[in-house]
Amino acid sequence: MGAVAAETAPLLEMRSISKTYPGVTALSRVDFSVMPGEVHALVGENGAGKSTLMKILAGADAKDAGRILIGGSEVHIDSPQEAMRLGVSIIYQEFNLVPYMNAAENIFLGREPAGAVPGVIDFRKMYADAEAIIAELGVALDVRAPINTLSVAQQQMVEIAKATSRKSRIIAMDEPSATLTEHELENLFALIRRLKAEGVSIIYISHRLEEIFEIADRVTVLRDGELVATKNITDTDRDDIIKMMVGRELCPTLMRESTASPAEQASAASVGKGEIAIEVVGLNRAGVLRDISFCVRRGEILGIAGLVGAGRTEVARAIFGADPIDSGEIRIYGKPVKIRSPRHAISLGIGLVPEDRKALGLVLGMAVRENISLANLGVLSRLGFVSRRREREVARKFVEDIMIKTPSVEQAVQNLSGGTQQKVVLAKWLFTESKVLIFDEPTRGIDVGAKAEIHQLMNRLAENGVAVIMISSELPEVLAMSDRILVMHEGEIAGELSREEATQERIMHLATGGQ
């Protein structure tokens, strides 16, 4: 397939693109080209410049230098409208859909077919056209259903339909698989292959390298805003790509030490490992959770696996006091507690690294320093007055300890990359010295390097006697990190697997409702 690239002229050429943000060089003379009908994967750690490059292509951000050619002639993409006119569509991780409008209205937003009376929408034509587009994509979807009643995968299909209905020749997808189940991912791939057959070029951004080998023709690797290489997928392998991304060798896959030496066991005992830290008995929430019971010991990492929507996040939120429960008991170190609010949960030594760090984990406009101290301002304050000096010291210590890549602790977290932001969230809970720490999708959308560091940190926490609960949709992560694995299915615990008996197949079997 790589041969396609060699013969025809490129459909899109981005030449020597540069972009600087205050304090950060986002792109430095990057070349990137896409052939007609090619699936071109774009990979790199967070902060490598992928998103910036795509924003420039989509007209959402202006380049400082460089040229863009489409079909051989130079274009000036100065707005998203211009990009669309040139046949470039981008599907962001956060969709651009109006939640209360239906699929057809979203597809034709801003260019609704006119009826007999000028300015009045021809609804019949709009629905017919929308249905035709959806049918052409080969997906099952009610075009009259409001967006907020559709699943994430269906919403993504609407985004793709929006792009194809505009006769887009280049569709860029930013982390399209992040929230999809295996089955939905298969559907997406089938759709991509169909689009490709029609000559549409796809730019596929993903952290999941397995997917790239399944779907891409070529891959371009960026690192720190610079082009590392563009290769045919057949000329490279996983380790090669990872090496290019991080610029250093990584230990293949991180595995937790399960066989501890007697000395280690002794030290484990000294930090109180093995004592039950949290026990959940018969947790119920109507329509969401049913009879959830489990316990986590100090020094243990409990993995919770399951499909999206199985109730994993809801368990975390219930324990953390973020959502009310109907019945059930939670015991912390054997003591029954009624957790009323996140505030109360934190005072009991529970921490939550939430699934959506931007919406739930961080105050984006605030500085790194302020985000780290937010959950534990009490210890930095006297009579309600915050000691900025001590706060800065604490923040600096964490920036150094867990290598938070920021120019200063005063940097607003919105200017940092995803992996770095996640470390800020982590620092917040490290500072509160949580005894029970819940990680909800801790490495989603995070680059390989930062991912490994976060895994190491979780291990370190467990070694220090913290009880860790880790929710993850990535099976290799669940298998590598967990001492025990709970599998959830439709709000219930479908089964529990020990580290030894767990395999991807067994987890998927339980997660999909098998016995």
Least Å distance, CB 210 to another protein, is: 26
Least Å distance, CB 68 to another protein, is: 21
Binding segment for another protein (CB under 8 A), chosen from 214-222, 369-377, 464-472, 496-504, is: 369-377
Binding mask 174-213 for another protein (x = CB under 8 A): ----------------------------------------
Residues 6+ away with beta carbon under 8 Å from 87: 70, 166, 167, 168, 169, 170
Told to check if 322 binds another protein by CB under 8 A, we report yes
Least Å distance, CB 411 to another protein, is: 6
Distances in Å between the alpha carbon of 473 and those of 43, 308, 470, 476?
Answer: 20, 7, 10, 9
Q: What is the largest CA-CA distance in the chain?
A: 84
| Residue closer to another protein (CB basis): 393 or 410 | 410
Q: What is the DSSP string of 205-266?
A: E-S-HHHHHHH-SEEEEEETTEEEEEEEGGG--HHHHHHHHHSS---SS-----S--HHHHH
Near another protein in 23-82, by CB under 8 A:
23-25, 47
Told to check if 87 binds another protein by CB under 8 A, we report no
Whose CA is closest to 279, among 469, 429, 431?
469
| Residue closer to another protein (CB basis): 247 or 334 | 247
Q: What is the DSSP letter of 51?
A: H
- Residue 318 one-letter amino acid: A
Whose CA is closest to 35, among 4, 64, 61?
4
Least Å distance, CB 442 to another protein, is: 15
| Residue closer to another protein (CB basis): 180 or 346 | 346
| Residue closer to another protein (CB basis): 99 or 407 | 407
Instruction: Look at strands 327-332 and 226-232 and give their pairing.
Output: unpaired
Whose CA is closest to 91, among 182, 10, 180?
180
Told to check if 303 binds another protein by CB under 8 A, we report no
Told to check if 323 binds another protein by CB under 8 A, we report no
Whose CA is closest to 178, among 358, 444, 361, 357?
444
Near another protein in 211-240, by CB under 8 A:
223-226
Dihedral angle over CA of 252, 256, 258, 264, nearest 10: 110
| Residue closer to another protein (CB basis): 170 or 242 | 242
Say how many residues touch another protein, by CB under 8 A: 49
Q: Which of 16, 151, 232, 381 binds another protein (CB under 8 A)?
A: 381
| Residue closer to another protein (CB basis): 67 or 343 | 343
3-state SS, residue 127: helix
Told to check if 469 binds another protein by CB under 8 A, we report no
Binding mask 392-431 for another protein (x = CB under 8 A): -------------xxxx-xxx--x------------x---
Q: What is the DSSP string of 138-171?
A: T----TTSBGGGS-HHHHHHHHHHHHHHTT-SEE
Told to check if 363 binds another protein by CB under 8 A, we report yes
| Residue closer to another protein (CB basis): 165 or 422 | 422
What is the Cα–Cα distance from 437 to 467, expressed in whole angstroms?
Answer: 6
What is the Cα–Cα distance from 163 to 106, expressed in whole angstroms?
Answer: 11
Least Å distance, CB 451 to another protein, is: 16
Q: What is the DSSP letter of 374?
A: G
Q: Which of 130, 157, 375, 454 binds another protein (CB under 8 A)?
A: 375
The answer to whether the beta carbons of residues 510 and 487 sit under 8 Å apart is yes
Binding residues for another protein, per CB under 8 A? 22-25, 47, 223-226, 247-248, 320, 322, 341-343, 345-347, 352, 354, 359-367, 370, 374-375, 377-378, 381, 384-386, 388, 405-408, 410-412, 415, 428
